[in-house]
A and B are shown apart, each in its own frame.
Chain A
Amino acid sequence: MEQQLDVSVSPHIKDKANVQKIMLDVIIALIPAGIAGVYIFGIHSLYVILTCVIMAVISEWVIQKIVGVKNTVDDLSAVVTGILLAYCLPPSIPLWIAGIGAVAAIVIVKNLFGGLGYNIFNPALASRAILLASWPAAMTYFIKPQMSFFGAIDTVASATPLTVIKGFAYKGLETSLSNKEVWFNLILGMRGGAIGETSCLAILLGGIYLLFRKVIDWRIPFTFIGTVLVMSFILGRDPLFNIFTGGVFLGAFFMATDYVTSPVTPLGRLIFGIFSGLLVVLIRFYGGYPEGVCYSILIMNIMVPTIDKFTVPKTFGH
């Protein structure tokens, strides 16, 4: 019986979930949207996704070596960031721009703020904002859906449904919305847009997986999409059209639910979801951009410490 016994503070058992497993779950949940994106927009989308992931992982490894902190590439968070960034880039984006985006996300937005857990902004979205400011033309050049796996990239520019609405009279589109095929295409993702954002069905599949695995809380995605739905209806626009277009689904299930940049309290999450949705509607209907998901979430990211501070739960017995 002469043996060394470990001594530590309780509890002596721990849940099996760890950061790595959570990130792996997120990656699994992102796969359907990626397959849909590659199928719809062609093989170049796959190269964009791979470029972003590889550059994100390499830059995480390099910056942590340079700064001299513990290496955390194995937590897979850089992979998630890479995939998410690729998903909100246009399918025809030059690979070098995508690569710069990945480096900016990991180095500037994430690691300069202290690495995983300390970044204020969602790295993928903040990096998309950086790219949009730097290469506005390339970032708003959306190709038509290809719908074939190995077809050559058709570089005929195609407007996203939201730019159509922004540019032309709303009434013209309304008539086409009465067509069932248009709705079918919208939900499946056969429309112009970023690589991973168009197929609402694929994103929903991943989102349900995350909810089922208890990785994300229902509060943010439901209030986010719900608010867009209700506010569009109140402001006299087509509510369903507004939730199935742009990045509402991708934003609600994968960007706004990013642990680090969303509130930790249950009430705070409701507030975060509602205000993000509200900002999307305001930017889309009254702002200068056709799409508002990216900026609405970035703006709400800034509010997170404040929301957390004012939504501290009432302690038992107080």
Chain B
Amino acid sequence: MRTFSGGIHPPQSKNTKDKPIEKADLPKKVVIPLQQHSGCQAEPVVSVGDMVKTGQKIGEAKAFISANIHSSITGKIESIKKGLSPILRDGWCITIEGDGTDEWVTSQKNDLDKLSPEEIRQKIKDAGIVGLGGAGFPTHVKLCPPCNTKVDTVIINGAECESYLTCDNRLMIERTNEIIEGLEIIKKAVGAKNGYIAIEDNKPKAIEKVKSAVKGSDKVFVLKTKYPQGAEKQLIKVILSREVPSCKLPLDVGVVVDNVGTAVAVRNAVLENKPLVERVITVCGSGISTERNLLVRIGTSFKDIIDQCGGFKKDVWKVIMGGPMMGLSQFSLDIPVIKGTSGILAMTLDERPDLRERNCIRCGRCVAVCPMHLMPNMLGLYSARFMMNEGFKYNPEDCIECGSCAYVCPAKIPLVQLIRFVKGKKLEHLRCKSELLNRK
């Protein structure tokens, strides 16, 4: 089986892989951040006191890279103010007090054959769809290849290489046809011929289900279970043997990669005009009483969801949005679920790893596991000493922050944190440089 070089095998802990997706209770109140995606914040288009229906647009994308925001319940706009969000310390949030009715905006059925690529993109944009894998890049922008690039392949990413998370696995098992319809829609939007659905070999049920459902020229690509197999660049390398150049996008090698959750959302948006107001998340970890896969409305607070899973059962050490390798730890439970929330992971005090930091002993494990073939030890060393000029030579801008280096480091050096610092400086440096060149 082909695979990329490097990578790690953390414990999988996929306890919820056989837990079917259940509908979460309708929240009484939701807090919907206006920034749930990369790019610019959406602008509010409602005011305090307005009545909104489920699926009604409440925030509009004004910039090119941005996404619309919709109300996820029916009720009254209570406030528009700064609040907590899982990705930002504080950003503008719209709070909606629900009236319990859950009345949706009228929807219609569309026929894919009658839609042009332009219309498909518009529908995706209207529905406010962003990548559901975590990064939250607006999907309509991703499906807009510049006129000089030709996209020939669409990959639906069902690798789900993060430990604990099983929401993509469940989607592939329970909503197989919707994913395949989503793939057809994305292929049509970008004019691609080939379609792949990539799944790691630790999900035999999903592989079987998707294999029996794929149509036409689309293929299921079975991947070796290894972290970070689901990283975009590694996925393309393994499936197509194409290497995305540094600081470039998959589009530059003629590929679009979308998460399985995104494919389902795209399908619902294009065929049913349904905006992105709910998603499947995995609520898991040894701190959670009943681990579940839940279909939740965007804006539901973590606390509500954890209560629906029986609350905490032990002393909780960390609550993480996402998986243990790349997820964001949260300091409060009054955080809303956003479009990019793939899971809520509660880790207990007894799972706290050995964090005693020592000198780097140059064991070279970080170099061996880095999927981008960087030298994390050197980047960490220079970053810790503020030697930016030296650090820049080791290409920090290519780091995908997968955390493999910090995972294996026996000296417990916080390599991701250190590399992020020098990476940020390098990106800033590259931006300034290109601006100067453009001015000339």
Inter-subunit contact B410/A5 (CB<8 Å): no
Restricting to B377-423, which residues have a CB under 8 Å from any CB of A?
377, 394-395, 398, 401, 403, 406-412, 414, 416-417, 420
Inter-subunit contact A1/B394 (CB<8 Å): no
Restricting to A284-318, which residues have a CB under 8 Å from any CB of B?
312-318
Q: A259-B364, A265-B375, A315-B373 are in contact. Are A1 and B311 (CB under 8 A)?
A: yes
Is A157 engaged at the interface, CB distance under 8 Å to the other chain? no
Minimal beta-carbon separation of B110 from chain A (angstroms): 38
Considering the complex, give the chain B residue whose CB is closest to the CB of A264.
B364
Considering the complex, give the chain A residue whose CB is closest to the CB of B9.
A15
Looking at chain B's contact residues, the main secondary structure is loop
**Which stretch in B32-40, B217-225, B259-267, B317-325 binds the other chain?**
B317-325
Is A236 engaged at the interface, CB distance under 8 Å to the other chain? no
Residues on A with beta carbons closer than 8 Å to the beta carbon of B303: 1
Report A104-141 CB contacts with B as 1/0, cut-off 8 Å.
00000000001111100000000000000000000000
Is B330 engaged at the interface, CB distance under 8 Å to the other chain? yes
Q: Bound state CA distance, A8 and B318, in angstroms?
A: 9
Is A18 engaged at the interface, CB distance under 8 Å to the other chain? yes
Residues on B with beta carbons closer than 8 Å to the beta carbon of A19: 358, 361, 410-411
Considering the complex, give the chain B residue whose CB is closest to the CB of A316.
B372
Is B440 engaged at the interface, CB distance under 8 Å to the other chain? no
Is A226 engaged at the interface, CB distance under 8 Å to the other chain? no
Is B368 engaged at the interface, CB distance under 8 Å to the other chain? yes
Residues on B with beta carbons closer than 8 Å to the beta carbon of A171: none
Q: Bound state CA distance, A313 and B394, in angstroms?
A: 10
Minimal beta-carbon separation of B404 from chain A (angstroms): 8
Inter-subunit contact A13/B333 (CB<8 Å): no
Inter-subunit contact B416/A10 (CB<8 Å): yes
Is A260 engaged at the interface, CB distance under 8 Å to the other chain? yes
Residues on A with beta carbons closer than 8 Å to the beta carbon of B416: 9-11
Residues on B with beta carbons closer than 8 Å to the beta carbon of A5: 316-319, 329-333
Is B243 engaged at the interface, CB distance under 8 Å to the other chain? yes
Is A32 engaged at the interface, CB distance under 8 Å to the other chain? no
Is B44 engaged at the interface, CB distance under 8 Å to the other chain? no
Minimal beta-carbon separation of B4 from chain A (angstroms): 8
Q: A260-B361, A313-B367 are in contact. Are A10 and B373 (CB under 8 A)?
A: no
Is A65 engaged at the interface, CB distance under 8 Å to the other chain? no
Q: Bound state CA distance, A8 and B319, in angstroms?
A: 11
Q: Bound state CA distance, A14 and B316, in angstroms?
A: 17
Minimal beta-carbon separation of A90 from chain B (angstroms): 30
Considering the complex, give the chain A residue whose CB is closest to the CB of B244.
A317
Minimal beta-carbon separation of A23 from chain B (angstroms): 9
Residues on A with beta carbons closer than 8 Å to the beta carbon of B434: none
Residue of A6, A11, A217 ringed by the most chain B CB atoms within 10 A: A11
Minimal beta-carbon separation of B215 from chain A (angstroms): 33
Inter-subunit contact A317/B329 (CB<8 Å): no
Considering the complex, give the chain B residue whose CB is closest to the CB of A219.
B364
Is A213 engaged at the interface, CB distance under 8 Å to the other chain? no
Is B362 engaged at the interface, CB distance under 8 Å to the other chain? yes
Inter-subunit contact B246/A317 (CB<8 Å): yes
Q: A316-B372, A317-B248, A318-B246 are in contact. Are A18 and B398 (CB under 8 A)?
A: no
Minimal beta-carbon separation of B376 from chain A (angstroms): 10
Inter-subunit contact B233/A217 (CB<8 Å): no
Is A155 engaged at the interface, CB distance under 8 Å to the other chain? no
Is B88 engaged at the interface, CB distance under 8 Å to the other chain? no
Q: A7-B331, A217-B364 are in contact. Are A313 and B375 (CB under 8 A)?
A: yes
Residue of B315, B329, B352, B416 ringed by the most chain A CB atoms within 10 A: B329
Residues on A with beta carbons closer than 8 Å to the beta carbon of B312: 1
Residue of B315, B352, B406 ringed by the most chain A CB atoms within 10 A: B406
Q: Bound state CA distance, A76 and B412, in angstroms?
A: 16
Looking at chain A's contact residues, the main secondary structure is loop
Inter-subunit contact B410/A264 (CB<8 Å): no
Is B112 engaged at the interface, CB distance under 8 Å to the other chain? no
Inter-subunit contact A317/B245 (CB<8 Å): yes
Report A1-31 CB contacts with B as 1/0, cut-off 8 Å.
1010111111111111111011000000000
Q: A8-B329, A15-B408 are in contact. Are A312 and B359 (CB under 8 A)?
A: no
Residues on A with beta carbons closer than 8 Å to the beta carbon of B245: 317-318
Q: Bound state CA distance, A317 and B237, in angstroms?
A: 10
Restricting to B148-202, which residues have a CB under 8 Å from any CB of A?
163
Restricting to A65-99, which residues have a CB under 8 Å from any CB of B?
72, 75, 77
Is B117 engaged at the interface, CB distance under 8 Å to the other chain? no
Q: Bound state CA distance, A207 and B316, in angstroms?
A: 42
Q: Bound state CA distance, A85 and B315, in angstroms?
A: 47
Report B320-344 CB contacts with A as 1/0, cut-off 8 Å.
1000111111111100000000000
Considering the complex, give the chain A residue whose CB is closest to the CB of B234.
A316
Is A161 engaged at the interface, CB distance under 8 Å to the other chain? no
Q: A5-B317, A5-B329, A317-B245 are in contact. Are A11 and B410 (CB under 8 A)?
A: no
Minimal beta-carbon separation of A166 from chain B (angstroms): 35
Residues on A with beta carbons closer than 8 Å to the beta carbon of B354: 14, 16, 18
Inter-subunit contact B347/A317 (CB<8 Å): no
Q: Bound state CA distance, A77 and B303, in angstroms?
A: 46
Is A239 engaged at the interface, CB distance under 8 Å to the other chain? no
Inter-subunit contact B358/A75 (CB<8 Å): yes
Residues on B with beta carbons closer than 8 Å to the beta carbon of A313: 367, 373-375
Residues on A with beta carbons closer than 8 Å to the beta carbon of B326: 10-11
Q: Bound state CA distance, A114 and B361, in angstroms?
A: 12
Inter-subunit contact A14/B407 (CB<8 Å): yes
Q: A10-B326, A11-B324, A11-B407 are in contact. Are A317 and B243 (CB under 8 A)?
A: yes
Is B216 engaged at the interface, CB distance under 8 Å to the other chain? no
Inter-subunit contact B375/A13 (CB<8 Å): no
Give the top 7 A-B pairs by smallest Cβ distance, nearest first: A117-B359, A11-B403, A264-B364, A14-B353, A317-B246, A9-B417, A316-B372
Please name 20 pairs of A and B residues whose Cβ atoms are closer than 8 Å in the assembled complex, sorted by A.
A1-B311, A5-B316, A5-B329, A5-B332, A6-B329, A8-B318, A8-B329, A10-B327, A15-B8, A18-B358, A18-B412, A116-B361, A117-B362, A259-B363, A260-B362, A264-B362, A264-B367, A316-B246, A317-B244, A318-B246
Q: Name 17 extra pairs, CB < 8 A, besides A316-B372, A317-B248.
A: A5-B318, A5-B319, A8-B414, A10-B401, A10-B403, A11-B326, A13-B407, A259-B362, A262-B362, A263-B364, A264-B364, A269-B364, A314-B373, A316-B398, A317-B245, A317-B247, A318-B398
Q: A interface vs B, CB < 8 Å?
A: 1, 3, 5-19, 21-22, 72, 75, 77, 114-118, 217, 259-260, 262-266, 269, 312-318
Q: B interface vs A, CB < 8 Å?
A: 8, 10-11, 163, 233, 237, 243-248, 303, 306, 311-312, 315-320, 324-333, 345, 347, 351-356, 358-364, 367-368, 371-375, 377, 394-395, 398, 401, 403, 406-412, 414, 416-417, 420
